[in-house]
Amino acid sequence: MILISFLAMLSFQVEVNNQLVDLENRYYLKTADQVIIIGDSAECIGLLLPLPGYYDNIELYPNRCRFLTDCLAYRYIEIGRVHKLNIHLVDQIPSPGTFYLCSNFNPDTNIILSREPLYFSYPGQIIQFVLRPGDEYLDYLMELINTPFILSPRFTPQGFHQVDNCLGSDCASFAIYPHRRRGEQMKYVYPLDIFQYLQPIYHEVFLPREKDSLSVFQSDDGKVIAISRENLWQGDVIHFGEQVSIFYEDRGIKGVLDSKDLVIQSWFNQPGIFTIYNCGFWGEPIRVYKWKINS
């Protein structure tokens, strides 16, 4: 079990899987971890969850060199007062992703706004937990699954990068994040600059065409996109031109990319899993790629 002893106003302890660790601002957990909160009976424990939203740093601050970002919104949920209370925190949140544990945090409203990471804005009161299912590329994408969409993520005024600190992402930075989390030296780039990290599976451009009541992606010469480890596979990139999506699962015609297959992407107001038909870019020509670095 991880035993986390909180400083300042955080007077309770948190145990995760029986191992003791030093106090930090952020902890990375897996969905199988058991989290136990132990505290004084007067200790009020709460969660802060990022709210979905669409934030546009380019429109607000067109000069990329400026360290300005919009305030992000979070919803406060009180868990209760604890005294040797066993709470499986994974059951308190809707999915893998990023959430915040706080104690004796009494906001005037249930909606909290902050430009910086919450543990920086409220030192000694809040700790960030980042939750994923496992250790594969797709698992690391899940750490951002409930954070907002931020067009052109930047550094906050205090120097925290919005993606690396799990504040939010856009489509390209969402795709790159797992590589950085696993130690690869990759910069966050725009969708049209991500090709430096990719190698084409096919050189053709593909468009959806009707086949067996589904829309199958085909090239001008009739070639289809095969789904297999040697061709398009989980974690590979589907590039719509201005949107980067990640292939997630074969759901339609077995072994062929079609409208019912799933992608995981950052778009709309937060990352999520969508059918290609509902991903927001249906009808656009696509190219498919593998990472030069294994995903």
Q: What is the reported pLDDT for 270?
A: 97
Q: What is the reported pLDDT for 3?
A: 36
pLDDT, tens digit (0-9, with 9 covering 90-100), for 110-167: 899 999 999 999 887 888 989 999 999 999 999 999 999 999 999 999 999 999 999 9
Q: Is residue 242 a contact partner of residue 192, using CB atoms and an 8 Å limit?
A: yes
Q: Which helix (H) or strand (E) holds 177?
A: helix 171-181
Task: Say whether 156 sits in a helix, a strand or coil.
Answer: coil
In the structure encoding, which two tokens stand for residue 229, read together?
């480890």
pLDDT at 64 over 90: no
pLDDT at 65 over 70: no
pLDDT, tens digit (0-9, with 9 covering 90-100), for 119-135: 999 887 888 989 999 99
pLDDT at 21 over 80: no
pLDDT at 227 over 70: yes
Torsion angle in degrees (nearest 10) through CA of 43, 120, 31, 5: -50
Q: Which of 1-15, 49-63, 213-227 has the highest mean pLDDT?
A: 213-227
Q: What is the reported pLDDT for 2?
A: 40
Q: What is the reported pLDDT for 73?
A: 95
Q: What is the reported pLDDT for 235?
A: 98
Non-local CB neighbours of 172 within 8 Å, separated by 6+ positions: 188, 189, 190, 191, 193, 194, 244
HSE, CB side, 13 Å, CA atoms: give it for residue 224: 15
Higher per-residue pLDDT: 221 or 5: 221
Q: Is residue 52 a contact partner of residue 148, using CB atoms and an 8 Å limit?
A: yes
Cα–Cα distance measured from residue 201 to residue 212, given in angstroms and rounded to the nearest whole number: 25
Please give the average per-residue pLDDT across 27-52, as a whole number.
79
In the structure encoding, which two tokens stand for residue 236, read together?
């590979």
In the structure encoding, which two tokens stand for residue 271, read together?
């990352």
Confidence (pTM): 0.90
Please give the average per-residue pLDDT across 188-213, as a whole number.
93
In the structure encoding, which two tokens stand for residue 98, read together?
């990023």
pLDDT at 4 over 50: no
Poorest-pLDDT segment among 24-38, 46-60, 227-241: 24-38
HSE, CB side, 13 Å, CA atoms: give it for residue 242: 7
Higher per-residue pLDDT: 69 or 219: 219
How many other C-beta atoms lie within 10 A of the C-beta of residue 248?
21
Higher per-residue pLDDT: 8 or 179: 179
Checking 52-56 for CB contacts under 8 A at 24+ apart, the result is 52/146, 52/148, 52/149, 52/269, 52/270, 53/148, 53/149, 53/269, 53/270, 54/148, 54/149, 54/151, 54/268, 54/269, 55/148, 55/149, 55/150, 55/151, 55/168, 56/151, 56/152
